[in-house]
């Protein structure tokens, strides 16, 4: 069963930064790998579900003209708004399982969706539905980046590897590349049913 807002109310009752996102070297390194893995220098319109307290949001905002960042409970969103004071970033209380009209009211499509440590809070059915919808809200050639913790967590419906298996099965997404070690898996997908060009190929270098 997917985890809902009641679960995260309990998590954030333990403190402002229960995951250590602003203090852990593991997290800082992961965010650096994430940003370095984005295949485009700049994005027009991005979505970041599960932004928590906005540590990654702060970095994404530097690469995006417009960014929608979401979470399912209020406490982390309040901290994220304080951390990232930008008219180009919109914070919304929202879950991947909810209606996408909330985050995409104009049906304008995103050219970047970043799923950082959010997929395994959903069960497989909800995740498959959410990924189908995410692919439908990506413009052709847009980027979907997913990065997740690989070690099992008793509370989570899925492991990171299982999440990435579901994403890889999503129609309309093609894998561009990625990084994996014992702790994390990161993969980059392009909104296309054809094999995407590499970054060097897209610049005429290969």
Lowest-confidence region among 55-69, 81-95, 99-113, 163-177: 99-113
Q: How confident is the model at residue 104 (pLDDT cuts 50, 70, 90)?
A: confident
Q: With 90 as the cut, is the pLDDT of residue 200 above it?
A: no
Q: With 80 as the cut, is the pLDDT of residue 107 above it?
A: no
Structure confidence at residue 23 (pLDDT): 95
Structure confidence at residue 206 (pLDDT): 76
Q: How confident is the model at residue 106 (pLDDT cuts 50, 70, 90)?
A: confident
Q: What average pLDDT score do residues 87-94 get?
A: 96
> DSSP letters of the chain?
----HHHHHHHHTT-S-TT-TTT-HHHHHHHHHHHHH-SSS-EEEEEES--TTSHHHHHHHTTEEEEEEEESSHHHHHHHHHH---TTEEEEE--TTS-GGGT-TT---EEEEEEES-GGGS-HHHHHHHHHHHHHTEEEEEEEEEEEE-S--TT-SS-HHHHHHHHHT-TTEEEEEEEE-SSEEEEEEEE-SSPPPPHHHHTT--
Lowest-confidence region among 98-102, 125-129, 145-149, 181-185: 98-102
> pLDDT per residue over 38-53, tens digit each?
999 999 999 999 999 9
- C-beta of residue 25 within 8 angstroms of C-beta of residue 99: no
Better pLDDT: 194 or 13: 13
Lowest-confidence region among 14-18, 26-30, 79-83, 93-97: 14-18
**CATH number of the domain encompassing residue 85:** 3.40.50.150
Cα distances (angstroms) measured from residue 1 to each of 7, 20, 72, 120, 121:
12, 25, 16, 11, 9
Q: With 80 as the cut, is the pLDDT of residue 28 above it?
A: yes
Provide the percentage of residues in the chain whose pLDDT is more than 90: 88
Structure confidence at residue 45 (pLDDT): 97
Q: Can you give the residue range of the structural domain that contains 73?
A: 5-202
Q: How confident is the model at residue 99 (pLDDT cuts 50, 70, 90)?
A: very high
Give the chain's domain count.
Answer: 1
- Model-level pTM? 0.94
Q: With 80 as the cut, is the pLDDT of residue 25 above it?
A: yes
Q: What average pLDDT score do residues 9-28 get?
A: 93
């Amino acid at each position: 069963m997917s985890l809902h807002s009641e679960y995260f109310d309990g998590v954030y009752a333990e403190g402002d930064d229960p995951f250590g996102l602003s203090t852990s070297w593991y997290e800082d390194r992961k965010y650096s790998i994430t940003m370095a893995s984005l295949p485009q220098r700049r994005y027009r319109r991005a979505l970041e579900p599960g932004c928590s307290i906005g540590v990654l949001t702060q970095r994404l905002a530097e690469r995006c003209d417009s960014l929608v960042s979401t979470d399912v409970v209020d406490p982390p969103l309040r901290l994220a708004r304080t951390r990232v004071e930008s008219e180009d970033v919109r914070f919304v209380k929202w879950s991947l399982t909810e209606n996408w009209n909330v985050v995409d009211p104009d049906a304008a499509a995103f050219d970047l969706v970043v799923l950082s440590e959010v997929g395994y809070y959903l069960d497989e059915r909800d995740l498959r539905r959410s990924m189908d919808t995410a692919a439908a809200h990506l413009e052709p050639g847009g980027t979907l980046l997913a990065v997740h913790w690989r070690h099992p967590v008793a509370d989570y419906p899925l492991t990171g590897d299982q999440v990435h298996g579901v994403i890889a099965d999503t129609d309309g997404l093609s894998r561009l590349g990625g990084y994996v070690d014992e702790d994390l898996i990161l993969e980059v997908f392009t909104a296309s049913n054809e094999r995407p060009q590499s970054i060097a190929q897209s610049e005429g270098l290969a």
